[in-house]
C-alpha cells in the first residue's frame, strides 16, 4: 500500500504522502505521538510528542544520553518503539521503513566510510543501494560533491580523510538520494571551530537552496542555535521545551538577572550614573576596562542612547552569553 501511495505523489517535487498539518496549517514532516522506547526498566524516550515543520531547520538539543539518537533511530525505522506512533514524510516508520529511508537522509554520529575505497566509490555504492541508474548517479555524485566542496579530494581513499572531510562527504552521501528530510546526529561533534562554521553554512545552504527540511541533534547549544528555526530541548527522554529559540530565551530570562558588558569613552562617573539611570538596571560594577550592568530585563536598546546623552561614545556592548547556557541549564536541572 505504501508503494502505491509513494508513486501516486511523485508528481510533486519531493516524493511522499500527504503530510499532517499543525494548527496554523503548516505541513509537518515529522510528527510523533506518545513515542516511547524502553530498554527493560530503563525508559530512553518517554511519551515524546513533537513535530517538525516542512522547510525548517529543527534542532534536537539535549545532553548526552537524553535519548536523541534513540529517537532518530525510531524515526528512521532502525529500531522499534515500545509504544506510540510517528509519521515521517507521511509514512509510518515502523511499518514502512523502506519508504522512509528512500526519502530521508541520515548522517550518523560517527559516520564511517569504507576506508579502502575512494570517496567517490563510497558514494557510488550508496547510489547503487538506492537504485539510482548509473548515469543519473554520476551526475548527482558530481553535483553533491561540488556542493560540499569535495570534488578534489573525492578520488582519495576515504581512510585518509579528516573528520571534517568525512562529515562533508557524509552530507554529500545524504544529498545523493535527493532527500526530503535530512537527519544529522551530532554533526558538529569533534570539529574545530572553523569546521563547525563551514558545516553549519553547508547545512543552511542545503536547507534553503534545495528546500530540504533538516533535523539535527546536538548537545552544543551555542553551536547550533544560530542556524535553527526551532529547537526542542530534550532531557532524560522527555521534550521539556519546544519552540523558537528567541521565545525560549525570553521565557527563561523572565525573572532572571542579565549581565550586560559595556565599554565607553570616557568611562567616568558621569557615564556610570547615566547607565544607572536606565530603567531595569540594578547595579553597575567595574571590571577591568569594562562595566558590568546587572539588569532585570534586556536593556541593550537603551544603553547607546544613555551613553550618548552622557557625552560619551559607546565602544562595546555585549550581552554576556550566560543567557544561552541558562536556557540549557534551566531545563537540565528541571528535567
Partner 1 sequence: MHGLSAVFEKEFRDHCGSRRFMILFALICLAGLSAVYVAAQSIRSDLSSDSSTEFVFLKLFTSSSGVLPPFLAFISFLGPLVGLALGFDAINSEKNSGTLSRLLSQPLFRDSVINGKFLAGLATIALMLASIMLVISGLGLKLIGVPPSLDEMVRLIAFLLITIVYVAFWMAVSILLSVLFRQAATSALAGMALWIFFAFFMPMIAGIIANVVVPMNADPDTLTLLRHENVSQMASRISPTTLFQEATVTVLTPGIRTLGPVLVRDVIGMIPSPLSVTQSLLVVWPHMVGLVALTLICFAASYTKFLREEIRA
- List residues binding partner 1 (CB under 8 A): 69, 73, 76, 78-79, 98-99, 101-102, 104-116, 125-126, 128-131, 170, 173, 177, 185
Pick between residue 92 and residue 263 the one whose CB is nearest to partner 1. Answer: 92
3-state secondary structure of 69: helix
Pick between residue 112 and residue 243 the one whose CB is nearest to partner 1. Answer: 112
E-only strand ranges, 2-145: 28-39, 42-48, 51-53, 57-61, 83-88, 104-107
Q: How far is the CB of 126 from partner 1 (least distance, A)?
A: 6
Q: How far is the CB of 113 from partner 1 (least distance, A)?
A: 6
Neighbour-count burial of 142, counting CB atoms closer than 10 A to its CB (0-12 exposed, 13-18 middle, 19+ buried): middle
Quote the CA–CA distance of 14 and 88 in Å, as a whole number: 13
Is residue 126 within 8 A of residue 173, CB to CB? The reply is: yes
Pick between residue 87 and residue 166 the one whose CB is nearest to partner 1. Answer: 166
**27: enclosing H helix or E strand:** none
Q: How far is the CB of 239 from partner 1 (least distance, A)?
A: 21
Pick between residue 181 and residue 203 the one whose CB is nearest to partner 1. Answer: 181
Look at strands 258-265 and 238-243 and give their pairing: unpaired
Q: How far is the CB of 214 from partner 1 (least distance, A)?
A: 15
Which residues, including other chains, have CB under 8 Å from residue 179's CB and lie 6 or more apart? 103, 104, 105, 212
Please give the grid coordinates belonging to residue 325: 547556557
Pick between residue 213 and residue 267 the one whose CB is nearest to partner 1. Answer: 213
Pick between residue 68 and residue 330 the one whose CB is nearest to partner 1. Answer: 68
Which residues, including other chains, have CB under 8 Å from residue 289's CB and lie 6 or more apart? 263, 267
Q: How far is the CB of 7 from partner 1 (least distance, A)?
A: 14
Q: How far is the CB of 131 from partner 1 (least distance, A)?
A: 4
- The one-character DSSP state at 196 is H
Amino acid at each position: 500500500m505504501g508503494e502505491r501511495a509513494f508513486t501516486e505523489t511523485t508528481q510533486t517535487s519531493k516524493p511522499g504522502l500527504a503530510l499532517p498539518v499543525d494548527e496554523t496549517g503548516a505541513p509537518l514532516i515529522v510528527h510523533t505521538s506518545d513515542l516511547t522506547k524502553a530498554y527493560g526498566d530503563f525508559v530512553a524516550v518517554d511519551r515524546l510528542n513533537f513535530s517538525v515543520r516542512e522547510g525548517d531547520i529543527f534542532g534536537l538539543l539535549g545532553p548526552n544520553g537524553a535519548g536523541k539518537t534513540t529517537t532518530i533511530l525510531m524515526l528512521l525505522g532502525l529500531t522499534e518503539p515500545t509504544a506510540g506512533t510517528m509519521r515521517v514524510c507521511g509514512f509510518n516508520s515502523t511499518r514502512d521503513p523502506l519508504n522512509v529511508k528512500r526519502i530521508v537522509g541520515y548522517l550518523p554520529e560517527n559516520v564511517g566510510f569504507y576506508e579502502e575505497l575512494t570517496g567517490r566509490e563510497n558514494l557510488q555504492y550508496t547510489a547503487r543501494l538506492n537504485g539510482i541508474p548509473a548515469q543519473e548517479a554520476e551526475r548527482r555524485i558530481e553535483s553533491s560533491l561540488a556542493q560540499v566542496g569535495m570534488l578534489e579530494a573525492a578520488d582519495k581513499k576515504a581512510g585518509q580523510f579528516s573528520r571534517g572531510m568525512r562529515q562533508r562527504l557524509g552530507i554529500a552521501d545524504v544529498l545523493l538520494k535527493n532527500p526530503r528530510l535530512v537527519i544529522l546526529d551530532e554533526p558538529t561533534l569533534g570539529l574545530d571551530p572553523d569546521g563547525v562554521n563551514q558545516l553549519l553554512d553547508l547545512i543552511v545552504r542545503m536547507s534553503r537552496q534545495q528546500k530540504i527540511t533538516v533535523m539535527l541533534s546536538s548537545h552544543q547549544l551555542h553551536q547550533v542555535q544560530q542556524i535553527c528555526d526551532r529547537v526542542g530541548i530534550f532531557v532524560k527522554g522527555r521534550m521539556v521545551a519546544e519552540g523558537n529559540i528567541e521565545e525560549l530565551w525570553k521565557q527563561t530570562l523572565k525573572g532572571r538577572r542579565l549581565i550586560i558588558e559595556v565599554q565607553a569613552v570616557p568611562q567616568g562617573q558621569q557615564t556610570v550614573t547615566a547607565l544607572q539611570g536606565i530603567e531595569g538596571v540594578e547595579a553597575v560594577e567595574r571590571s577591568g576596562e569594562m562595566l558590568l550592568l546587572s539588569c532585570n530585563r534586556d536593556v541593550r536598546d537603551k544603553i547607546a542612547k544613555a551613553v550618548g546623552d552622557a557625552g560619551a561614545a559607546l565602544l562595546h556592548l555585549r550581552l554576556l552569553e550566560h543567557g544561552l547556557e541558562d536556557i540549557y541549564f534551566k531545563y537540565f536541572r528541571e528535567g
